[in-house]
Amino acid sequence: MDFLTLFLLYLCFVLLVTALLCLCSGRKESFLARSVNRASQVLPLVIPTQLQRVTHRVLHRLFHTRNCLFVVLHVALQAAVFGEYTWEVFGYCRELQFHPLLLLLPYLLLVGNMGCFLLCSRANPGIITKSNHASLVKVYAYDGVMFQRGIVCPTCSLEKPARSKHCSVCGTCVHRFDHHCVWLNSCVGALSARWFLLYLLSLSASAAALALLTTALLLHLHHGARGHHHPVAVPSLVQHLFLTFPRIVFMLGFVILLTLILGGYGAFTLYLAFTNQTTNEWYKSRRLGGSQNRSLVYKNIYSKGIWKNLKEIFRPPTALERKKK
């Protein structure tokens, strides 16, 4: 097996693990948990009962209770990537006289990203309480299909306002609930949606900036070593760069995959913002679209145009503001 095949297998493995972690984020029952549960049901004689119990407890702890494991993993991954960038890429780029603003761009994006991360993870997402329930009920109208009047949350004992949902992880009802993000250890709701959008976009931009700078560095180093008059095949080029700069190449592969995944998720989040939908509403609308009950026809009554939809993200409406108008 040649080197390029091994490197592609590494990239596929990183992509698979990252995709699984993203699928596990923000779901009541994660993809990984369902897979393990199904496997334990199909193979009860192969998997020991004690191992099944331990696995169930670990998965329940990770994805059904609030914990800081993914927050620590998030910080550790960023520290590893930016540590490698600072230790090697930044130094090489300075020697090659890259523009200082280009070299500082990833750090500037990192500062903005960490600021949005702290605001999003520590901010009140829009928890519904007895004191604010009466005002939040008046913010959005009930569409009669996805959100109906008179439904009471059995846990909070409060009538659910339109576009709200009870988060089983946090144990509270959240106004304009989007999803529960394990990477933030918090829900994304009406009051934190703007910080989550900025957090996701800045994270995507920082990964893209690292990928572009690292690629430019490796190409510059390769051309400087080989000259411009000796074309090299792609497998030989990748192998040469890996043998010369192994840590940089591994980091580049990781950030490229991360850029693709985060870019796709960021585009999806922007689409939801432009159309004034939440992840919870989008998922429910797909289920209603595939329902056999033709009387349940969902129509998004909350969209008011791209500009007003974005304005609602960054300045959530309240019943008090409506009265003032």
Joined tokens for residue 315: 């300045």
Give the chain's length: 325
Alpha carbon distance 56, 209 (integer Å) = 39
Joined tokens for residue 218: 């490796």
Distances (CA, A) of 74 to 64, 68, 184: 18, 10, 9
93 is catalytic: no
Name the DSSP letter for residue 87.
I
% helix / strand / coil in the chain, to the nearest 5?
65, 5, 35
Set 120, 173, 181, 187: catalytic member: 181
Distances (CA, A) of 84 to 65, 88, 91, 110, 242: 33, 6, 10, 14, 15
The answer to whether 179 and 283 have CB atoms below 8 angstroms apart is: no
Indicate the pairing of strand 179-181 with strand 186-188: antiparallel
Joined tokens for residue 105: 């761009």
Which secondary-structure segment (H or E) carries 235?
A: helix 234-244
Q: Which residues does the annotation mark as catalytic?
A: 181
